């Protein structure tokens, strides 16, 4: 009853927002879209050699199949988050899905390398709109602390395992169909997600008082693009190349200008109070550092399994399956169950230590290492560690955010993840390439030794880079332990989570 007897106060329970009866099906729709966005960062990796042959790409240009996506994604995420706040999350979510599907179809039908690069950039741009609206919809759909923990556990598992799933799906599609299906596969997934979104998702109208900060978008996106582009170009050109130095300098200058402008803009793209919060800033930095190490692992293990151990695309993809399973278990069965009672950093710090220990095991791999004896234990430790970390990062970073800032906060989490992946791929690949070249130069004394020295040199480069990745993981654990001081939500978490206004 919403009205009490005369003289008696109406029960306060009647004023609470009723839970959406379709919220778990809504989670399926949101998770499906997020999975599509995350796995697309890696699904074409295994297919890249086939695409390169089909479209006659040069070795220098083939990286743009990956970089065009990550540059657009990472550079435009902040703008995408603000668009979600302005236009409404459900509407932005549907537009992002439709645009992503169209860009995927364009890439699958590419007749030349330029067409494929452009399609991948379009995919990244629409992903930048889609990802923050998905996370903010999740934040406002689940308001009960216990259900919210489970929902974020599933979401965090997909965010952490989506890249590994991309390798598996990419291997299957490349081996049994062709590389184009790594892009076409997004179309039916997006169609299902659009139908589900129109039927199951609910959202308030956009905030009419939110305005797009165009100067902030130019400065912030330009700075991120310049820095990520600089890291991607450091691998083929070298760290001291004038173009690389110019890109880094321009990126830093643009980001400094961005911060300066955000303090003065009437409607800032990234309200600085979001990143001034100690817990939130710690989560953003932890996410970026963790993904630097994780993407480096994906890159090296893909080449190690296929080039050194001679695995087929499908077998190489399936080799990542234990990692994916461990991430899901760590996120949904450990973090989701403990976050309600344990402080976030009590999960994040052990998670980063586990992930670092897995990477340290991989530093012992050689040309003749066995999968079951050396690779598998490392992947399991890495997966459990990432699963423990991702879920509390997502939940803590978005907790207590005002509804008008939900989209931009979600975008900042995704920006940290995407920029970390881009930096990790470029940085660690440069370390590996340099170390391999130095090893081969020091040990190769004639043509007769090429068959043994070159593979050993390549693996040596991988292990040196993995040492760096382990160091980055330990740094992420240190950041989480020092900066993330939030307490366990407990039974008071409901007051910390903004309750969405009733729909309609």
Spacing of C-alpha 48 from chain mean position? 20
Q: Please give the DSSP secondary-structure letter assigned to residue 62.
A: T
pLDDT tens digits, 120-159: 999 988 988 888 787 777 777 776 666 767 777 777 666 6
Identify the pLDDT of residue 407.
64
Distance CA 421, CA 40 (A): 13
Distance CA 233, CA 336 (A): 39
Identify the pLDDT of residue 396.
84
Question: Residue 145 in contact with residue 497, Cβ under 8 Å?
Answer: yes
Q: Please give the DSSP secondary-structure letter assigned to residue 484.
A: -
Per-position b or e across 296-332, b if 16+ CB within 10 A of its CB = bbbbbbbbbbbebbebebbebbbbbbbbbbbbbbbbb
pLDDT tens digits, 185-221: 899 989 988 888 888 777 655 555 567 777 887 888 7
Q: Within a 13 Å sphere around the CA of 137, how many CA atoms are in the beta-carbon half?
A: 33
- Full pLDDT tens readout for the chain, 504 residues: 444 444 444 444 434 445 556 677 778 788 888 778 877 777 887 777 778 888 988 655 676 787 788 778 877 877 887 787 777 778 888 899 999 999 999 999 999 888 999 999 999 889 888 887 877 777 777 766 667 677 777 776 666 566 667 878 888 888 888 889 989 989 998 998 888 888 877 765 555 556 777 788 788 878 877 887 787 677 677 788 899 999 999 999 999 999 899 888 887 777 787 888 888 889 899 998 998 888 767 777 877 887 788 888 788 888 888 888 888 888 878 887 887 788 888 889 999 999 999 999 999 998 888 888 889 999 999 999 988 988 888 788 877 777 666 667 777 887 787 778 777 777 787 788 888 888 888 887 777 667 788 888 889 998 999 999 999 999 999 999 998 887 776 544 433 433 333 222
Identify the pLDDT of residue 107.
92
Question: Residue 269 in contact with residue 217, Cβ under 8 Å?
Answer: yes
Identify the pLDDT of residue 411.
73
Spacing of C-alpha 355 from chain mean position? 17
Six-digit token string for 243: 């173009």
**Length, in residues, of the chain:** 504
Distance CA 124, CA 130 (A): 10
Helices 278-303/345-362 angle, 10° precision: 20
Residue appearing with tokens 């509407």: 91
The number of beta carbons lying within 10 Å of the beta carbon of residue 174 is 26
Burial environment of residue 501 by CB neighbours within 10 A (0 to 12, 13 to 18, 19 or more): exposed
């Amino acid at each position: 009853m919403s009205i009490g007897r005369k003289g008696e106060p109406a029960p306060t329970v009647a004023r609470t927002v009723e839970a959406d009866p379709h919220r778990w099906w809504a989670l399926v729709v949101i998770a499906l879209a997020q999975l599509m966005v995350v796995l697309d960062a890696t699904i074409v990796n295994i297919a890249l050699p086939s695409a390169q042959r089909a479209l006659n790409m040069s070795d220098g240009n083939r990286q743009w199949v990956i970089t065009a996506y990550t540059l657009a994604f990472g550079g435009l995420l902040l703008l995408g988050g603000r668009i979600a706040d302005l236009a409404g999350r459900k509407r932005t979510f549907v537009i992002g899905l439709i645009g992503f599907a169209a860009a995927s179809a364009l890439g699958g039908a590419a007749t030349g390398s330029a067409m494929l690069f452009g399609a991948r950039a379009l995919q990244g741009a629409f992903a930048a709109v889609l990802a923050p609206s998905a996370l903010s919809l999740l934040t406002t759909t689940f308001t009960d602390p216990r259900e919210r923990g489970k929902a974020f556990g599933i979401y965090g598992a997909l965010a952490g395992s989506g890249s590994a799933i991309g390798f598996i799906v990419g291997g299957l599609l490349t081996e049994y169909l062709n590389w184009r299906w790594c892009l076409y596969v997004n179309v039916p997934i997006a169609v299902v997600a659009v139908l589900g979104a129109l039927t199951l998702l609910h959202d308030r109208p956009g905030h009419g008082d939110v305005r797009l900060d165009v100067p902030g978008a130019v400065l912030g996106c330009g700075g991120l693009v310049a820095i990520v582009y600089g890291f991607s170009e450091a691998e083929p050109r070298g760290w001291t190349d004038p173009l690389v130095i110019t890109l880094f300098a321009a990126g830093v200058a643009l980001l400094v200008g961005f911060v300066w402008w955000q303090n003065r803009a009437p409607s800032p793209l990234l309200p600085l109070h979001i990143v001034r919060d100690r817990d939130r800033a710690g989560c953003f930095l932890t996410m970026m550092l963790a993904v630097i190490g994780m993407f480096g692992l994906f890159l090296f293990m893909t080449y190690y399994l296929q080039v050194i151990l001679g695995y087929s695309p499908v077998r190489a993809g399936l080799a990542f399956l234990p990692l994916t399973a461990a991430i899901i278990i760590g996120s949904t069965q450990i973090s989701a169950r403990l976050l309600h009672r344990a402080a976030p950093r009590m999960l994040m710090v052990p998670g980063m230590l586990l992930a670092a220990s897995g990477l340290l095991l991989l530093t012992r791999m050689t040309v003749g290492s066995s999968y079951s004896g050396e690779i598998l234990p490392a992947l399991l430790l890495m997966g459990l560690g990432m699963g423990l970390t991702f879920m509390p990062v997502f939940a803590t970073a978005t907790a207590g955010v005002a509804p008008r800032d939900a989209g931009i906060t979600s975008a900042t989490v995704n920006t940290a993840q995407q920029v970390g992946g881009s930096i990790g791929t470029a940085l660690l690949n440069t370390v590996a390439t340099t170390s391999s070249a130095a090893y081969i130069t020091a040990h190769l004394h004639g043509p007769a030794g090429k068959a043994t020295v070159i593979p050993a040199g390549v693996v040596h480069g991988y292990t040196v880079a993995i040492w760096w990745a382990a160091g980055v993981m330990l740094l992420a654990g240190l950041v989480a332990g020092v900066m993330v001081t939030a307490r366990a939500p407990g039974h008071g978490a409901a007051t910390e989570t903004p309750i969405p206004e009733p729909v309609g």
